Amino acid sequence: MTVNHPAVFSKEVISSLLIHSQKRLDKGSLVLDPFAGTGGIHSLCPPYKTIGVEIEKEWTDQNERNICADSTKLTKIFKDQKFDAIITSPPYGNRMSDQYQGDAKNSKRYTYRISLGRDLTDTNTAKFNWGNKYKLLHQQIWNECYKVLNEDGYLFLNISNHIRAGKEEAVVEWHVSTLIDIGFYIDEIVSIDTKRIKHGSNSALRADSEKLAIFKKVSP
């Protein structure tokens, strides 16, 4: 049985990724997605060679280019292998990460746990709402990404702020600041207009757009 994923790349995001990556990457570039889900990244193959890492087996198994593994351990997974680019969209830390365990079949909630049908793995960043645990896990993964990326390689990050208790959480700003601290140079930030999911108590309130933040690895 196919297990759906609640947060796949939209056609608007894929289009933006193609436009902006083709300005910077050669055909045949080796691309990694460390938050692969069911493997939407592979719609970019061609023009690129793509590999996805996904921690949940039910989602991994939906594309043969996915590897079921923990992205906090990328350097152990790939050892001496390096990538020309990382193209990815991590969880946003919004209510989709709620661990509601009620009547999932009849629930209107739209979450990772309900879609998967069980508890998420402890090191799956989708398990955590915006906060310290979310930040710690992502920081570990971004450090691993830096290490497996070629010198002068690119990181393309699709991310968005979200509304919590009527307040916009600065998710984009945190990821950008964290990646700069690790050693990335911010090349460009692009706004992408997409259809936002209209569920939950903040359904009428959404960040104005998703972002595509483009980084280049700075050689030491």
Strands 83-88, 30-33: parallel, antiparallel or unpaired by DSSP? Answer: parallel
Burial of 80 per CB tally in 10 Å (0-12, 13-18, 19+): exposed
What pTM did the predictor assign?
0.89
DSSP 73: G
Residue 91, preceding peptide bond in cis (omega within 30° of 0): no
How does DSSP classify residue 96? Answer: G
pLDDT 10s per residue in the chain (220 long)?
677 876 777 899 999 999 999 999 999 999 999 999 999 999 999 999 999 999 999 999 999 999 999 999 999 999 999 999 999 999 998 777 777 665 555 655 668 788 878 889 999 999 999 999 999 999 999 999 999 999 999 999 999 998 888 889 999 999 999 999 999 999 999 999 866 454 455 444 455 789 999 999 987 6
